[in-house]
Each structure stands twice: as C-alpha cells, then as structure tokens.
Structure 1
Amino acid sequence: MSEIRIVIPDKVDRYLDSLVRTGMFSSKAELFRAALMEYLEEISSVAKDYDSKLMFSPEGRIYQLEYAKEASLRGVPVVAITYSSGILFMNPDLSDGDIEYADKIYSNGEIIAAFSGLAADGLYVMSKIRKMKGEMRTLLFELSKIFWEFTTKMGYRPLGASVMVGFKKEKKIAVFDPSGSYHFANYWAIGDGEKDIMEILRGKYRKDMSKEEALKLALNALGNPQKYKFEAL
C-alpha cells in the first residue's frame, strides 16, 4: 500500500486529535483515509453526472446542447439579409435613458457578426471574432472550434448563444448554433420569435433587393421597433 505524508497546521492537528478522541476513528490516519475516500466518491459522482448530460442518450440526443439551443432562442432577435450589393444586420435597440445594453452587432469593414442568447456567452464569442483574421474558411473553422470545445471540456457547458457572421467578399451569411455546426443563408433570424421573423423574410425576400429595401424588410420583420441598430457592408 502506498504511503502519503502531509504537513498540517498545529490548529488543524489539534482539531483532528479532538475528532479521534470522540471514538469515531482509531487514529488520524484512519480519519484521513475516510475523508479521502469520501472526496473521491464525490468527485466521481460529479464527473458521472457531467458525462451523463454531455454523452449521447440512447435516442442520440445530447441534453446540454438542447438546453443551450433553448437559451439561444431567448435573446433579443437579430436579422441578417444579403441584398444586391452587400449584407445588412439589424436588431431592436432596447436601451433607454437609464439603461444601455452591450452591442450585439460587430463590424470591421470585412465581416459583420452578431449573437443572440445568453449575453455573457455571446459576448465571449464576439471577443474571439474581433481577434480573428484570415479567409472565410479559416474563420469558420476557428469559430466552429470554439463552440465545439465548450461541449467537450470537463467543467464547461455548451455556449447558450447562436451567432451569425456575414462576409463582405463572398456576400454570404454563416449561421452557427451552440453545437458549432453552421449553414449558409441569404437571410436569417436568430433569437426570440425567430420562427415568425423567418416567415416574414421568407415571404418578402428577393436577391436583387437594394440596401433601402433590405433595411425596410428587416424593420418589418422585427415588428418596426422604434429604435434599432444596424450595420451594413
């Protein structure tokens, strides 16, 4: 049997002596063994519980990802539209005189990115996007990797946010869900009420729309909010 030696403060040593005197343990060594076994069992149960939520169920489902996708549906909606000469992203602006919310849309002249869902998760992804450089394929891979890592690392949970990235050069919109999978679209909506918003976009979208027409469609799809923010490339 392996032997473990440790150094403890005098105050802790006196406390352990008092526990031994109660008769529950025959020695401090026995007390330590019991405490260590209890700790290891607790850690094991935590790991098993974590694995059970991130492993495939018999039906092929990963419950933590499903929870994350639900969270991504509860954020302020964002609309993305490609038009004849560019791309436009828009979201309602809920800020008022007393409260100002963090921006959901970022643009650097080459790409536009936006998120919906848990704000902290979305802002984390946006901070990574701000540092990314390179071709579209490289950015897509790096972004997908960020989401994927949060579904596989011990102690992490899937990110509860959906993200859209528009590429000026390619005039494409990539839509990411919390699993890291993505697809391309000419128009899309993420966030609260996205299904209803998509119905409006689907019925009125045209590839040859002007910027002004795309702006009007985005406003209409979002319910004509009094205040809004948008970026266009």
Structure 2
Amino acid sequence: MQGQQQQAYDRGITIFSPDGRLYQVEYAREAVKRGTASIGVRASDGVALIVDKPVRSPLVEQDSVEKLHKVDDHVGIASAGHVADARRLIDFARRDAQVERLRYEQAIGVETLTKDVTDHIQQFTQIGGARPFGVALLVGGLDDGQPRLFETDPSGTPYEWQAIAIGSDREEIQSSLEAEYDPEIELAEAVELGLQALGSVQEEPLDPAGVGAATVDAESEQYIQLTNEEIEAALPE
C-alpha cells in the first residue's frame, strides 16, 4: 500500500506528498543537473554568459548546439537541462519582450522578463496532465543600464545572483566562483572568470569549439556572442 501511495505522489504533479514535496518538480531539478554546465557572471559594466558545449561527434555542426540565446538586444539567456524545454521558454521570453516593445515602445526589464517566464514555469507545477519544465535558465541583461543576472528554477522561482552556475558540477563551479568573484570585476575579466571556473571541473583543457560565451555590454547595450577566436584569447593559460 505504501508503495502505491508513493507512486501516486510521483505521478501526480498537483499532489503534495505528506511531507510537503512535489516529486515531479524535484525530478525536473535532477534533469537540470544532468545537463552540461552554464555560468553567469555579473560585471560592473555588463553580464557574461558561459556555456559548456562538448563535441559529442566530429560530424555534429557545433552551431546547432543551442545553449545561448538572444532574447532582445539587451537580454541573453543560457540554459541547462532539456534543450527542447529551453526552446519553449526562450520563445515565450522573446514574445514577451516583443509585446513590451510594441505595446509600450520600450525595452522590457530583465527582472520583469524573468518573473514573467517563472510565472509561466510555475503554471506547469499546478496543471494536471502536464509536467514541469526540465530546464533552468540564466537570464542576463541590462535594466536602465544596470547589469542584472537571474536564475530560474523548475518550480517557477526566480533568484538574482552576482555569479551563478547551473547544470552538472554546479557545486564545484560555484565554489570556484565564490573564491574568485569580485563585485568590481569588468566584463572581459568576467568572461575569463567564467571560463576559468568551467575549466576547473574539466579533465582536459577547454576547447574553444566546445565552449560558448556571450556578453551584454552596458556601453553598447547589445547582446554579443563571442567567436571561437575571442574565446580562445580569454581562456586561462
């Protein structure tokens, strides 16, 4: 009987277990942990997003591995977890940003965008016959010229960070970030810090072709994805 009750809590996203847990949300968090790492670092003059894109086969076109996404001119998103789930949320975020521009003729705030996305995520923890999104996002951008960096959780909770890692090896990468992060860090140094933290959990030196990086610069207020040559120049020696 106890096993049948446990199975009911596992399958029912809208049912709390007796100890107040939603098992499907916890399983979604486990799916995020199985995804390759993504890192966000907030600098004094922008936000850097770093992602691990391991080369699984020499036949794979690296540009088809989507972990970095431009949402608006001033906002970028990195993901960890199920890529297909991430694409759905990215599409939602892009529509939300465009509606803001069309309706109010202004760029959407990073915090507003993040909370709209997490409200959408949260709905899938209360709907029968659906499942939570098995992905976490890092939303980085500018609010009135000020760099902001947020994390979304499969439960639909937003968190703001100075520097954060999601996906596999999160604890080790986060420890590296906590040891090295400086609030006054500049954007170029933030990219180097993110790459250094990612490299700290890799057995082999980082391959620029297997890493993605993007920045949102406070001066230009533009999301820019770095080339392999720029990433190689920023790699720790």
Name the TM tier (shorter chain).
0.7 to 0.9
Work out which of the residue numbers 129, 137, 153 in structure 2 matches 1:155.
129
Task: Give the unaligned 5+ runs of structure 1.
Answer: 1-47
Q: Give the root-mean-square deviation of aligned CA atoms.
A: 1.8
Q: Which residue of 2 aligns with 1:36?
A: none
- Show the 5 A alignment for 1:26-65: 52-65=12-25
Secondary structure of the structure 2 residue equivalent to 1:114: strand
Work out which of the residue numbers 172, 178, 181 in structure 2 matches 1:202.
178
Deviation at 1:148, TM superposition (A): 1.1
- Which protein has the larger Cα radius of gyration, Structure 1 or Structure 2? 1
For the residues of structure 1 that align with 2:128 and 2:12, how far apart are their CA atoms? Answer: 12
Deviation at 1:185, TM superposition (A): 0.5
For the residues of structure 2 that align with 1:94 and 1:70, how far apart are their CA atoms? Answer: 20
Q: Which residue of 2 aligns with 1:141?
A: 115
1:34-55 alpha-carbon deviations (Å, 9 max, x no partner): xxxxxxxxxxxxxx77874431
For the residues of structure 1 that align with 2:23 and 2:185, how far apart are their CA atoms? Answer: 40
For the residues of structure 2 that align with 1:212 and 1:140, how far apart are their CA atoms? Answer: 25
TM-score, with length taken from structure 1: 0.74
Is 2:178 the partner of 1:177? Answer: no
Secondary structure of the structure 2 residue equivalent to 1:73: helix
For the residues of structure 2 that align with 1:168 and 1:104, how far apart are their CA atoms? Answer: 20
Conserved in 2, the CA contact under 8 Å of 1:54 and 1:64? no
Work out which of the residue numbers 72, 76, 101 in structure 2 matches 1:112.
76
For the residues of structure 2 that align with 1:51 and 1:66, how far apart are their CA atoms? Answer: 12
User: Residues 159, 168 of structure 1: CA spacing in aligned structure 2 closer, same or farther, 3 A cutoff?
Assistant: same
User: Residues 70, 50 of structure 1: CA spacing in aligned structure 2 closer, same or farther, 3 A cutoff?
Assistant: closer
Identity across the alignment (%) = 27
Work out which of the residue numbers 99, 107, 130 in structure 1 matches 2:94.
130
Q: Which residue of 1 aligns with 2:47?
A: 87
Conserved in 1, the CA contact under 8 Å of 2:39 and 2:164? yes
AA at the equivalent of 1:98? L
For the residues of structure 2 that align with 1:190 and 1:160, how far apart are their CA atoms? Answer: 12
For the residues of structure 1 that align with 2:12 and 2:91, how far apart are their CA atoms? Answer: 31
AA at the equivalent of 1:226? D
Deviation at 1:211, TM superposition (A): 2.1
Secondary structure of the structure 2 residue equivalent to 1:168: strand
Q: Which residue of 2 aligns with 1:226?
A: 207
Q: Identify, as 1 or 2, the structure richer in strand.
A: 2
For the residues of structure 2 that align with 1:137 and 1:216, how far apart are their CA atoms? Answer: 25
For the residues of structure 1 that align with 2:120 and 2:197, how far apart are their CA atoms? Answer: 30
